[in-house]
Amino acid sequence: MARHAPGLESLPDDLLGACLSYLSQQDGQYVTLVSRRFQRLFYQQSSLWRSFTVHVRQPRTRERLEARLALLRRVAPHVTAFAVLPANERQGITLDGSNGQPRLIDLLQPLPPSLTALELGNEGLPLQLPPQTARLLQPFTAVRSLNLQILADAGDLVAVVQLMPKLEELSCSMQHCPDLQQLTRLTQLRHLYLRDSGSAGGGVRPPTLSALPQLEEFQLHSWSGRVELADTHCMSCSLGPVEFDGAREPVVTLAIRNAELGSLQLLLAAAVRSTLVLEALDFEDVTFSAASLQGCTQLTGVQSLRLFDCQFDAPAAAALFACCQELNGLDLIDWDGPGIELNDLQLPPQLKRLCLADYSYKLPGTLAQLTNLQCLDVSNKDELELSLETVELLCRLPALRELGLPGIDPEDLDFEEEEDEADSALEAAREAVQELLRRRPGLRIWYVHEPYL
């Protein structure tokens, strides 16, 4: 009698189970129809079920929902990361059992206490989490990452997360922000993201962030414009690694948006550990004065500074530059205008990179003081007059190696009534670039639009 070649049924359970673990969850469920053995082994593969997501649709048929819940109950012991997300960002999913939606309690009950990551909505796909959500999280004391979007009742949040001794990442969007000061007890917390969810949110009052010894990154945002840090109110404030122009790798950056700065020293004392070295500062729509910078000693390590549509005067700029003793990269962007006159600024002589973007059409004469400048980016200026005078100024920068220019915007050549004027300016720009390259042959020039040559 001929001997049959060994088949799948001859494989031991551990080897066959390992093969099944390479299937997707959907394909694997089809395989379970082959035999009871395949079914048993498939549902026992912990690697398949470590991450489990329920996508909630509005409306959702009860049969599909029950099937998904039945699968969750079957594999729940293997789940370590669980997420509930709406299928569409515009759907108002409340998880209260109405309109064919599941109840949040039914989704959480099967999960093991060993769960390490829990995501109930996210910033791009938020849910409208029902009242008492925080209390439903009490069994999950092993959670390391918790994401809640959007929490209608955050009153119990602080008490509940204090029962999670391993919590390293907390992200929460709330309709009303409770007193969060007790979060300073979460000494292992590394990432903190807090937001209010609308103009009636009342703002965000974070804990004393500098008291969290392991904190590496935070983001605070309030649509009502009331993130409260010491005596400063802003729309948002964040700290963490950011890819800054001119830096080879992400640098530790403090970013503040839409604020009238009180005392920067008090803000830093509340938000940044004294042992943390700030490498970059990013202000957008921030009003500050020399007085608001008094006593500020925590900016000595700042190497990159970005000021976008900020309101300040020459003394304020001088005070800020003096605080940033190691500053070598500066972005001055002013699209709100009229901003400060650049010729009034005493730019730090040690600058190696400078970016200018505004509506002025000439380069400031104070550039000649920057004998260490290696990169000048004026490619985003609305309009730049390139002339032999400009060439003379640029040639007074002995260390200059890179130059960004706007170039020729095709839209500027579409107006017949200005054709002669445009042609004249273009010819002058070409002559200026040719002369610049003749005198500085090693200079690398790049353009936002079409090159002049």
Domains in the chain, please, with CATH?
50-224 (3.80.10), 230-320 (no CATH), 328-453 (3.80.10)
Looking at per-residue pLDDT, the higher value among 356 and 384 belongs to: 356
Question: Using one digit for the tens of pLDDT, what is the confidence trace for 138-187?
Answer: 999 999 999 999 888 888 999 999 999 999 999 999 888 888 999 999 99
pTM of the model: 0.86
- 279: confidence class by pLDDT, cuts 50, 70, 90: very high
Please give the pLDDT value at position 5: 62
Question: Using one digit for the tens of pLDDT, what is the confidence trace for 181-197?
Answer: 999 999 999 999 999 87
Please give the pLDDT value at position 415: 45
Looking at per-residue pLDDT, the higher value among 404 and 247 belongs to: 404
Question: Using one digit for the tens of pLDDT, what is the confidence trace for 321-348?
Answer: 999 999 999 999 998 765 677 888 889 9
What mean pLDDT value characterizes the chain?
86
The percentage of the chain sitting over the pLDDT mark of 90, rounded to a whole number, equals: 52
Please give the pLDDT value at position 344: 83
Question: Using one digit for the tens of pLDDT, what is the confidence trace for 16-47?
Answer: 766 766 666 666 667 777 777 777 777 777 77
Please give the pLDDT value at position 225: 78
Say yes or no to pLDDT of 247 above 70: no
The mean pLDDT of 422-451, rounded to a whole number, is 85
Question: Using one digit for the tens of pLDDT, what is the confidence trace for 52-61?
Answer: 888 887 665 6
Say yes or no to pLDDT of 305 above 80: yes
The two structure tokens encoding residue 386 = 């390139």
The percentage of the chain sitting over the pLDDT mark of 70, rounded to a whole number, equals: 86
Q: Which of 345-359, 366-380, 412-426 has the lowest average pLDDT?
A: 412-426
